[in-house]
Chain A
Amino acid sequence: MTHATTPTLAGTRSLRTRFWANNKSTLIGCGVLVALMIVVPFTASSSVMNIVVFAMIFALPAIGLNLLMGLAGQVSLGQAAFFAIGAYTHAILLTKLDLPGPVAATVGVLAAMLVALLVGLPLMRLRGHYLALATLGLGFIVMIGVREWDVTGRTTGIYGISRPTVLGIPIDNSGFFLWFVTPFVVIGLILALNLTHSRAGRALSAVNDSELAAESLGVNTYALRLKVFVLSAGFAGLGGVFYAYQVAIVSPATAEFHLSVSILLMVVIGGLGSVWGAVAGAFLVQFLGEGMRDVIPAIFPGATGEVQLLGYGIVLILVILLLPGGLHQAATTLWQKLPFAGKRPPGDAHAHVPEDDTTIPQLPAVSTPVAAGEPILVLEGLSKRYGGVVAVNDVNLTVPAGSILGLIGPNGAGKTTCFNMISGALTPSEGTVTFLDQVISGRKPHVAAAHGLTRTFQNLQVFTSTDVVGNVYMGRYRKGSAGVLRGMLGLQSGEQSTHRAASYEILQSMKLSDAADDSASDLSFGKQRIMEVCRALAAEPALLLLDEPMAGLSGAEREVMAELLRRLRTAGLTIVLVEHDVAQVMSLADHVAVLDDGVLIAYGDPESVRNDPAVVVAYLGTDLDEAEAELNELEEHA
């Protein structure tokens, strides 16, 4: 649903800052949802009504979990724990302290978020399986906690929660309750939708595609994930608050594992990453559960209890095996097959970018924090060992600003390892990397990025879930400032549009604007490589690390790339490149460093390196044919 209608370019349509609903499809969707919720109490039977009310309540934790799983790529099997914390806090404040409803509800949501923050601080450092099982353990801890604590009413729980009163009207029936809960679900939905389209949301999905690339563009993965985890708990807490109101009792069952499973199922059915899917999933799971409770005893006489789990289990497996994108995927596929479904509106953006080969494209901005010739990057005694293997051995190197350094060497010489230590992807065994007078070695890649160091990757790290311009846009991450909160409130369109425009300009400089709106994964290998360079340039770095930027490029593309790099150097950018194409390096670089077996064997201007006997031996020593070929190539070039 959302995919087909997501505006490809929120910003270019209007620079006006829009509050709440960010686009037409959201508006229509919410309109339909609200209209349905208004009508349902008049038409639905009481059992359907009951299902709808609980679907709306559970839509909240489902939206939250969807943000965590779809956006942040983290599985939580303990969403019910936060649901329970919200419900219990609310119930206790209402029944024992007689606080007014809004206060109790707010504290309930905050309590869930606070607990999420406290457990998230350590847990968010874990990945994949561990987080899932740690949250599963957390769910059990919360259940045991409320069962053993007098304040939470032990096994019986908190009962006697009175229904809320809004504007003097007691909400004492399902219809009123549905109207009471709907605005909150709609607001939650809009906030979540805004977040997915925001700077933070895009960063998170980039992290999902390639954590390494996202971090090297300045995304602090840990902090963002933690924020989303806390946010997700807030949604669950709010759901708990409404649950306490509707059921009038909160018992340890609210923290049950099976509840976490059903919330997870809502997200999976709806489609990971699709906010509307989570809401649809909530409805589907409620109806499925109710239906199974009726159908299964008819098929298996005498079946009692939580027989709906049969359906849950089968659906979980089948969705992942057959329809990993859930309802969202099904809806999108269906939509595209409809005859009247238009293609995505042509990006009105590249209308204003005249495609003309003869014009010299505008040069992307670069930052020049130090004068040309001053040292910008210093490697001192840099070493990396894996067990007994020394990959990089005591490399000392100084890179002057405003120059291009070519790093060459036979396969396995330690070039990429060097790069990884400079960019922060690897921690050196010994030695330091100093960038702009700051020691950045051993820190996370986003720290290096924050100082103005950006890189590309030998093994492409493309953000496959977005389009080409979306990839380049991610390069602008560090230039933006809108956080999770601003993103949710939709208060960043202005910022987004500026960066959008900048992204298009960069694409144009590499003659890639034609493909701007294509899916990044559809691009040819060479184009993806160019796109990665564009993405790195979008960050306006002071130092650009290019890991084999020419590999897979056509001759013409190489020329464009080389020309761009030269102009960038002229503009003051410092570039370090690892390249197999020795000829290209020799023609481009101001200085060349040669690594062999992890040792820096030569350093100097291209001419002197070319004639350095050690280099010749190094190349000869590895592979005779290859070395000969490369030497010939050098000769030709000379």
Chain B
Amino acid sequence: MLTDFLQLTVAGLSQGSVYALLAVGLIAVYTVRHVINIAQGEFAMLAGLGSAWLAAAGMPLLLAILVAILSVTLVAIAMERLIIARVKKLTPLTSIILTLGVSTLLQAIMLLAWGPEAKGVPLFPGTNILIGGVSIRSQEFWMIGALVVVGGGIVLFYEKSRWGKALRACAEQPVAARIVGISPVTASVLAFAIAGFVGGVAGVVASPIYLSLWSGGVLLGLKGFVAAVLGGFVSFRAAIVGALLLGVIEAYVAGYVSSGLRDGAAFLILILVLVVRPQGLVLKPTAVRV
């Protein structure tokens, strides 16, 4: 029984790492632009399908992955430059419709380019290990590792570097960011680039075992959102903890209750959190209302 519990925990943590990377991308964009990027999950799928395609075409795995992640980062920047930046007054309503439009467009492009079937990147090098009956797949190390390296790197960037601090300041006070030496345009592009990058990383590390599917991004992105909400939508650290928690809870629900209810659990958590602490979720207190 303990073996099962640990097995589910491992599965939950590795799945949670993927959610965490997506949550980091969502928060990066939200803090700067106050946009919740519905296309965040599509970044992951795009990178997964892209690198699977490149790898299948004979490109070395490492190169395929790097090319895919960089391309997705460029897609995210293009999204910011060509679409988001063109709207003068970005209300929640327009930003949702716009990012939804991008999400839908990316899905359609993936469907047209790579067809309706799920595809997987080849497994990364490594060997599965069995500790006390708990089987840990090598890919799960890669997923958790990606979170530690990339997620941790982003957190350090935000907390230690000058630009990172400026990005954080953007959320509170655009003028303050300018003083630190970063223009709102640069900040916005940088935020989207980060979102594309972490989305891409999440997509490629998850693809070998969870596969990438043209329509899979919405659900994945939404899980990232649930994690971000659990973290109060301001703190990377809290969101990462929230994401890991979400992954583990999902795994327990699937293992001990019913696998069909797995996704239901995530959204039930979302709605519960929103109901119980709605005021705690607003980024800025409603102080400056007039």
Q: Is the CB of B97 within 8 A of A75?
A: yes
**Complex Cα spacing A317 to B264, Å:** 30
> A324: which B residues are within 8 A, CB to CB?
94
> B96: which A residues are within 8 A, CB to CB?
75, 77, 128-129, 132
> B215: which A residues are within 8 A, CB to CB?
258, 306
> A457: which B residues are within 8 A, CB to CB?
290
Q: Is the CB of B93 within 8 A of A69?
A: yes
**Complex Cα spacing A144 to B262, Å:** 9
The answer, yes or no, to whether A312 is at the interface (CB within 8 Å) is yes
Which residue of the partner chain, among A138, A305, A312, contacts B271 with CB atoms under 8 Å? A138
Which residue of the partner chain, among A122, A138, A310, contacts B267 with CB atoms under 8 Å? A138
Interface flags for A107-140 (1: CB within 8 Å of B; 0: not) read 0000000000001001101111110111011101
Q: Is the CB of A212 within 8 A of B290?
A: yes
Given A133-B222, A307-B112, A310-B112, the answer on whether A321 and B267 have CB atoms closer than 8 Å is: no
Stretch from A239-247, A296-304, A352-360, A529-537 contacting the other chain: A296-304
Interface size class of B (residues with CB under 8 A): 35 or more
The answer, yes or no, to whether B102 is at the interface (CB within 8 Å) is yes
CB distance from A504 to the nearest CB of B (A): 29
**Complex Cα spacing A133 to B115, Å:** 28
CB distance from A324 to the nearest CB of B (A): 7
CB distance from B277 to the nearest CB of A (A): 11
CB distance from B268 to the nearest CB of A (A): 7
Please indicate which of the listed interface residues A75, A127, A133, A321 has the most CB atoms of chain B within 10 Å of its own CB. Answer: A133
Which residue of the partner chain, among B36, B282, B290, contacts A416 with CB atoms under 8 Å? B290
The answer, yes or no, to whether B106 is at the interface (CB within 8 Å) is yes
Q: Is the CB of B105 within 8 A of A133?
A: no
**Complex Cα spacing A612 to B98, Å:** 58
Given A264-B97, A296-B112, A307-B111, the answer on whether A386 and B104 have CB atoms closer than 8 Å is: no
Residue of B nearest to A257 (CB): B218
Given A77-B100, A317-B98, the answer on whether A133 and B225 have CB atoms closer than 8 Å is: yes
Main secondary structure on chain A at its contact with chain B? helix
CB distance from B117 to the nearest CB of A (A): 10
Interface flags for B253-280 (1: CB within 8 Å of A; 0: not) read 0000010110110111011001100100
**Complex Cα spacing A320 to B270, Å:** 28
Q: Is the CB of B271 within 8 A of A317?
A: no
Given A119-B271, A300-B112, A305-B111, the answer on whether A425 and B101 have CB atoms closer than 8 Å is: no
**Complex Cα spacing A420 to B87, Å:** 31
Residue of A nearest to B92 (CB): A128
The answer, yes or no, to whether A633 is at the interface (CB within 8 Å) is no
Q: Is the CB of A313 within 8 A of B103?
A: yes
CB distance from B258 to the nearest CB of A (A): 7
Which residue of the partner chain, among B111, B226, B281, contacts A309 with CB atoms under 8 Å? B111
Please indicate which of the listed interface residues B92, B115, B226 has the most CB atoms of chain A within 10 Å of its own CB. Answer: B92
**Complex Cα spacing A11 to B119, Å:** 63
Q: Is the CB of A313 within 8 A of B105?
A: yes
> A140: which B residues are within 8 A, CB to CB?
219, 222, 263-264, 267
CB distance from B220 to the nearest CB of A (A): 12
**Complex Cα spacing A169 to B261, Å:** 43
Q: Is the CB of A122 within 8 A of B108?
A: no
Q: Is the CB of A261 within 8 A of B92?
A: no
- Interfacial residues of chain B within 73-117, with CB under 8 A of chain A in the complex: 83, 86-87, 91-98, 100-109, 111-112, 115-116
**Complex Cα spacing A324 to B98, Å:** 11
Q: Count of A residues near B, CB < 8 Å?
A: 60
Interface flags for A68-83 (1: CB within 8 Å of B; 0: not) read 0100010101000000
Q: Is the CB of B112 within 8 A of A317?
A: no
Which residue of the partner chain, among A300, A314, A459, contacts B290 with CB atoms under 8 Å? A459
Interface flags for A380-421 (1: CB within 8 Å of B; 0: not) read 000000100000000000000000000000000000100010
Q: Is the CB of A137 within 8 A of B102?
A: no
The answer, yes or no, to whether A29 is at the interface (CB within 8 Å) is no
CB distance from A74 to the nearest CB of B (A): 8
Interface flags for B216-259 (1: CB within 8 Å of A; 0: not) read 00110010011001000000000000000000000000000010
> B261: which A residues are within 8 A, CB to CB?
144, 148
The answer, yes or no, to whether A426 is at the interface (CB within 8 Å) is yes
**Complex Cα spacing A24 to B285, Å:** 47
The answer, yes or no, to whether A316 is at the interface (CB within 8 Å) is yes
Which residue of the partner chain, among A134, A138, A310, contacts B105 with CB atoms under 8 Å? A310
Q: Is the CB of B111 within 8 A of A130?
A: no
CB distance from B266 to the nearest CB of A (A): 8
The answer, yes or no, to whether B160 is at the interface (CB within 8 Å) is no
The answer, yes or no, to whether A268 is at the interface (CB within 8 Å) is yes
**Complex Cα spacing A141 to B87, Å:** 33
**Complex Cα spacing A496 to B264, Å:** 47
Residue of A nearest to B109 (CB): A310
The answer, yes or no, to whether A145 is at the interface (CB within 8 Å) is yes
> B103: which A residues are within 8 A, CB to CB?
313
**Complex Cα spacing A268 to B94, Å:** 10
CB distance from B44 to the nearest CB of A (A): 16
The answer, yes or no, to whether A466 is at the interface (CB within 8 Å) is no
Please indicate which of the listed interface residues A141, A148, A258, A317 has the most CB atoms of chain B within 10 Å of its own CB. Answer: A317
> B263: which A residues are within 8 A, CB to CB?
140, 144
Interface flags for A259-276 (1: CB within 8 Å of B; 0: not) read 001001000100010000
Q: Is the CB of A313 within 8 A of B287?
A: no
Which residue of the partner chain, among A119, A125, A310, A315, contacts B278 with CB atoms under 8 Å? A125
The answer, yes or no, to whether A458 is at the interface (CB within 8 Å) is yes
Given A125-B278, A128-B92, the answer on whether A420 and B289 have CB atoms closer than 8 Å is: yes
**Complex Cα spacing A307 to B109, Å:** 9
> B267: which A residues are within 8 A, CB to CB?
137-138, 140-141, 144
Q: Is the CB of A314 within 8 A of B105?
A: yes
Which residue of the partner chain, among A145, A257, A320, contacts B264 with CB atoms under 8 Å? A145
**Complex Cα spacing A313 to B264, Å:** 27
> A134: which B residues are within 8 A, CB to CB?
270-271, 274
Residue of B nearest to A417 (CB): B290
- Interfacial residues of chain A within 135-157, with CB under 8 A of chain B in the complex: 136-138, 140-141, 144-145, 147-148
**Complex Cα spacing A296 to B184, Å:** 39
- Interfacial residues of chain B within 21-80, with CB under 8 A of chain A in the complex: 36
Q: Is the CB of B264 within 8 A of A73?
A: no
Q: Is the CB of B87 within 8 A of A321?
A: yes
> A129: which B residues are within 8 A, CB to CB?
36, 92, 95-96
Q: Is the CB of A268 within 8 A of B116?
A: no
> B101: which A residues are within 8 A, CB to CB?
312-317, 320
> A137: which B residues are within 8 A, CB to CB?
222, 226, 266-267, 270-271
Q: Is the CB of A304 within 8 A of B290?
A: no
Which residue of the partner chain, among A73, A141, A212, contacts B93 with CB atoms under 8 Å? A73
**Complex Cα spacing A317 to B83, Å:** 8
Interface flags for B100-144 (1: CB within 8 Å of A; 0: not) read 111111111101100110000000000000000000000000000
**Complex Cα spacing A75 to B281, Å:** 18
**Complex Cα spacing A244 to B98, Å:** 31
Q: Is the CB of A261 within 8 A of B105?
A: no
Residue of B nearest to A122 (CB): B275
> B226: which A residues are within 8 A, CB to CB?
137
* Chain A residues close to B by CB (< 8 Å): 69, 73, 75, 77, 119, 122-123, 125-130, 132-134, 136-138, 140-141, 144-145, 147-148, 212, 257-258, 261, 264, 268, 272, 296, 300, 302-307, 309-317, 320-321, 324, 386, 416, 420, 425-426, 457-459
* Chain B residues close to A by CB (< 8 Å): 36, 83, 86-87, 91-98, 100-109, 111-112, 115-116, 215, 218-219, 222, 225-226, 229, 258, 260-261, 263-264, 266-268, 270-271, 274-275, 278, 281-282, 287, 289-290
In the complex, 16 of the A-B residue pairs with CB atoms within 8 angstroms, ordered by the A residue number, are A69-B93, A119-B271, A128-B92, A129-B95, A130-B278, A134-B270, A258-B215, A305-B111, A313-B102, A313-B105, A314-B101, A317-B83, A317-B105, A321-B86, A386-B287, A457-B290
The 8 A-B pairs with the shortest beta carbon distances in the complex, nearest first, are: A313-B105, A128-B92, A316-B101, A313-B104, A310-B108, A137-B267, A122-B275, A317-B101
Contacts A130-B278, A310-B105 supplied; 7 other A-B pairs, CB < 8 Å: A75-B96, A125-B278, A134-B274, A144-B264, A145-B264, A310-B112, A316-B97
